[in-house]
Structure 1
Amino acid sequence: MSTNVKKKEQQTSEEPKQLSGSSMLIEALAKEGVDVIFGYPGGAILPTYDEIYKTGIHHVLARHEQGAIHAAEGYARVSGKPGVCIVTSGPGATNVVTGIADAMIDSLPLVVITGQVATTVIGTDAFQEADMIGITMPITKHNYQVRSVEEFPRIIKEAFHIATTGRPGPVLIDLPKDVSLATGMFDYSKEVNIPGYQPTVVPNRLQIRKVVEAVTEAKKPVILAGAGVLHGKASSELFEYVEKMQIPVVNTLLGLGSFPGDHELCLGMAGMHGTYTANMAIYESDLLISIGARFDDRLTGNLAHFAPNARVVHIDIDPAEIGKNIKTEIPVVGDAKEAIRMLLEEQGTPGDTKEWLDTQKERKSEYPLWYKEDGEVIKPQNLIELIHEVTNGEAIVTTDVGQHQMWSAQFYRFNKPNRWVTSGGLGTMGFGFPAAIGAQFAEPETPVIAVIGDAGFQMTAQEMSILQELNMPVKIVIVNNASLGMVRQWQQLFHGERYSNSLFPIQPNFVKLAEAYDIKGMKIEQLSDLKGALEEMIAHPGPVLLDVRVAKEENVYPMIAPGKGQHQMEGVKPQ
């Protein structure tokens, strides 16, 4: 991939110097090790873009601010480093609000810089003024409006610190135009000191010992591994602990890849469209050890039936999550890596779980994920299986939200961390394709496949210009069922088959659309052509769009219907 990345040399001297606000920002980004920023220029942020031009720091021009923020999210999710997004004031800033909310609920570290009108006219409804502090207060980990150039270095340094420590999240810096033009002393040598922000990283050892005792006593233990394992870079520690203690593992949607999907102790994803084995393991467990999961409603189903007989251990770096949705008997506040390390240090002994493990093995065999083949009709599940096959399970897979997301989670077995990039808590259509661009910047040598619904792709399809401009080898696979698939499924099951505005009688010619951007496009309608097309797609050195026409009325199963418990799954076996 040709990205022409230019890293600005980091300053070796910490001597204060006189700089403009915009120059301070670029200097600080270099010191923070930022190698790529995603954005879109406009009037209020022009002084900063002038500095970008002068310094050569690598900037990726999105074709819409939504594309920029989602690309920053994809970069953050795969690299573990903060994604940086820069946009202008007013509509430029409000266009990134969805991405900020998405990053907040999925705990992705972002630093978002929005231009703002001059301080002299803030509050007067000036041209392209928007109150970004008020708008983003509920959806950022913290936000700042820079009122003087002297405070800018401290604010930037704090922003990166807050975004990347504790529970990761987005931080917004609102930069008025006059502050970006003003000059002051740039001193980036001071350590961050925020008395009111001191996240607990190392857990209380007494609480860890309680967990050890509970594990020894348990007959039916289960580990629920969430995204916190990935954010804490604790996958190897989790693997070691599971191998030692022989405890089965289930994943949340965002926790996929934190533990190898092919491992005999992996029971798959839990939740509304999780595996029967995973959900029943939680339902029947006597000890549930949650690591970095927040017990959202799509995981738990009816709370009255969630792990009803289990003692609950909740390990989380965010104390606000513990006890929020599920009553917790043993709370452990701290980083996932540190917590699992301490569990290993305590040298606990496994309980008598042979019968429990045998039950899980039998269930995995008896209740596998399934779908019915239908001649030459392409089933979406088969599509995902073949993508896994032709990529050897090594690709980074990004998705939007909906049926294609669930099929990808079910049938692409993730064995490595940070290979799964999806919009979880907010469920954002338009996320998957630009997120794939950010993911490719994070790992240029790894295949990146955006598995996208035909509806969501049309929300950010203009970002194909980036692939064209940089010849990025991102592969786009459109799971095309000519509908808002999950909306249609719910209308079928719960709204009397009244398909109100969920079907697409007319669609664009996606192949011609790709060709308009000088991108190779292919349309596949028959199963016998699918594997060869996927192999051709992977072999092609540049970007490819593959429009795959799948069965239009295929539904995602198994499923926990609204109001039902984990033990009340539908579609567990073929009808």
Structure 2
Amino acid sequence: MKLTGAQILLKCLEKEGVDVMFGFPGGAVIDIYDEIPKSSVEHILVRHEQGAIHAADGYARATGRVGVCLVTSGPGATNTVTGIATAYADSIPVVIFTGQVPRALIGNDAFQEVDIVGITRPCTKHNYLVQDINDLARTVKQAFYLARSGRPGPVLVDLPKDIQQQVAEFSYPEEVSMRSYKPTKNPHIGQIRKVVKLLKKAKRPLIYSGGGVITSGSHEELTWLGRKLHIPVTSTLMGLGAFPGDDELFLGMLGMHGTFAANMAVNNCDLLLAVGARFDDRVTGKVDTFAPNATIVHIDVDPTSIQKNVSVQVPLVADCKPALAALKTETEGTLDEYDWAADHKEWVEKVKGWAKEHPLTYKDDTEGIKPQYVVEKIYEITKGDAIIATEVGQNQMWAAQFYKYQRPNTLLTSGGLGTMGYGFPAAMGAQRAFPDKLVIDIAGDGSIQMCIQEMMTVVCNKLPVKIVILNNGYLGMVRQWQELFYEKNYCATCMDAQPDFVKLAEAYGAAGFRVTEKKDVEKTLREAFKVDKPVIVDIRVEKEENVYPMVPAGASLTEMLLV
């Protein structure tokens, strides 16, 4: 069967089971767009290419599948770079197809030509410039395989215009075999048994769970291990939802804005079992003082993540799911002969004491609306049964602290790169994946304006995303740092000059609500969540409320600033 390159691409996407891609057309991809109406792959037209890559990312996080976006050459391609770097930092499987000028013009400074392969090389897992139409199908197959396997990540495929127009026989490979890429999936049984011995010896064990647990789908194994062995669990921002947020063994998030109990547990544990986490600087604080009394076990599919930031005594290179399954198998036989609960009772009580002594809280001592109160009400109304996206900054941290995530893939947030503007288009992608789910973007008044043009996308595609703006009139997290460490020199952080978000929503054809009094928060949220179309809820919260606890930059986890 002879097809054009554009037809081959669409056939490849169908073979991969792609049901939707997010994109924006242009001259360098017009041949592909000419074929899209004949394909089973739905195309959602965004209003900016950054919206396309973030939406594909949100789709991937919510579903666990590969997200796909399609953009044109030049500025279309470069507009995706922030989103590609976002996905790369958080190990999210997305495939980005970019148009390119015809091969004969590459390097000639042609109209809308950029070296997108060179530009994105540092922030993709791999990328391709297709130079032979006979390689196209194989390249697409490899791109999807690379994006989803091992440590997932973004893969970019650059498609010259003449490749899209040429004709070739179509044959899609059944399997992928790449001699230079053989990620280790299964754990070494010797290392597993070594971990079990350490668990038996430990009196103060702690599980430190990261985004890799969610990516690998190993939340059930992690939950079994924590509960059956009676081990407290803390989580990174990216790992929230892997262990039930309301479980008595869950300590919440650790790190710069982590809970007092989690940070104290890290400082006092004698065994730290790190699963699918990379010891980011926001987690460790001062590295020299991180987990000073612990033997550290690190399970990660990416060998380059092990020993990179902290010294690890027991490295275990493997996918989290088979590794945790092997630990479950090895410890199941001990449940009758070994009383894990009794052995860890004193430690668990100590940790609970820290949580009781300094719980996550805030001073609700004014007539104004506290942003933490709003997040608590969102959790109370949804009972944890919603997909929450966040922007970046204070809104992100309050969403992490005061909403209890019960299941994986329900928190969509830019953890590694901290990309303002991420949450709304990510929520859009998740809503397309789950049209009947309640999807909420918890936003700040600064971040939400970075991709606000996608209001038109959600309205046109009947994607009823709910945006809840914690509107404090500032770039809140930067203002907080200015208050605490720069003598309140609020330079360039005041956002008093804002649009009327209610009128803005209505101008796009969405619904808008405004809340200025605490008594109206719950009823307005309930009303907004019932509206069957996109909604903006503008909630005027306390202007100078801070996120606590907070570990100052360069300090150890025990040097927390508390409420």
**Shorter-chain TM-score: what band?**
over 0.9
SS at match of 1:565: coil
Structure 1 distance, partners of 2:271, 2:224, is 19
Structure 2 distance, partners of 1:354, 1:505, is 52
One of 495, 508, 512 as aligned partner of 1:504: 495
Structure 2 distance, partners of 1:547, 1:229, is 34
Structure 1 distance, partners of 2:304, 2:482, is 35
**Deviation of residue 50 (structure 1)?**
0.6
SS at match of 1:44: helix
- Contact conserved, 2:221 with 2:321, CA < 8 A, in 1? yes
Partner of 2:13: 29
Structure 1 distance, partners of 2:530, 2:96, is 36
**Deviation of residue 56 (structure 1)?**
4.9
| 1:345-387 Cα deviation digits (max 9, x unpaired) | 1125548222101101212222111111134310000000001
Partner of 1:239: 223
Mapping 1:140-179, distance limit 5 Å: 140-179=124-163
Matched, 1:311 2:295: yes
One of 472, 485, 503 as aligned partner of 2:463: 472
Mapping 1:390-539, distance limit 5 Å: 390-539=381-530
- Contact conserved, 2:19 with 2:40, CA < 8 A, in 1? no
Mapping 1:32-431, distance limit 5 Å: 32-347=16-331, 348=334, 349=338, 350=340, 352-431=343-422
- Contact conserved, 1:293 with 1:316, CA < 8 A, in 2? yes
Structure 1 distance, partners of 2:163, 2:439, is 39
- Contact conserved, 2:141 with 2:173, CA < 8 A, in 1? no
Q: CA RMSD in A?
A: 0.9
| 1:23-61 Cα deviation digits (max 9, x unpaired) | 011001001000000000001011111111232521000
**Deviation of residue 195 (structure 1)?**
0.5
Structure 2 distance, partners of 1:191, 1:355, is 52
Structure 2 distance, partners of 1:335, 1:513, is 46
TM (normalized to structure 2)? 0.98
Partner of 1:12: none
**Deviation of residue 190 (structure 1)?**
3.9
SS at match of 1:268: strand
SS at match of 2:513: strand
SS at match of 2:451: helix
**Deviation of residue 494 (structure 1)?**
1.1
Structure 2 distance, partners of 1:401, 1:189, is 41
Structure 2 distance, partners of 1:59, 1:190, is 26
User: Does 377-386 or 541-550 show the bigger shift?
Assistant: 541-550
SS at match of 2:169: strand
Structure 2 distance, partners of 1:375, 1:539, is 29
- Contact conserved, 1:314 with 1:332, CA < 8 A, in 2? yes
SS at match of 2:415: coil
- Contact conserved, 1:202 with 1:339, CA < 8 A, in 2? yes
**Deviation of residue 541 (structure 1)?**
1.7
SS at match of 2:441: strand
Unaligned runs of 5+ in 1: 1-16
Partner of 1:3: none
Unaligned runs of 5+ in 2: none
- Contact conserved, 1:414 with 1:420, CA < 8 A, in 2? yes
SS at match of 1:314: strand
Runs of 4+ in 1 over 6 A off after TM superposition: none
| 1:491-546 Cα deviation digits (max 9, x unpaired) | 11111111110102311111100000111101101100110000101111221110
Structure 2 distance, partners of 1:232, 1:425, is 18
Structure 2 distance, partners of 1:403, 1:267, is 20
User: Does 50-59 or 252-261 show the bigger shift?
Assistant: 50-59
Q: Report the residue type matching 1:262 in the other structure.
A: D
- Contact conserved, 1:376 with 1:528, CA < 8 A, in 2? no
Structure 2 distance, partners of 1:447, 1:164, is 26
**Deviation of residue 171 (structure 1)?**
0.2
Structure 1 distance, partners of 2:113, 2:512, is 41
TM (normalized to structure 1)? 0.96
Structure 2 distance, partners of 1:231, 1:243, is 21
Q: Report the residue type matching 2:301 in the other structure.
A: I
- Contact conserved, 2:232 with 2:249, CA < 8 A, in 1? yes
Q: Report the residue type matching 2:248 in the other structure.
A: E
Structure 2 distance, partners of 1:304, 1:463, is 44
| 1:455-484 Cα deviation digits (max 9, x unpaired) | 111111110011211221110101101110
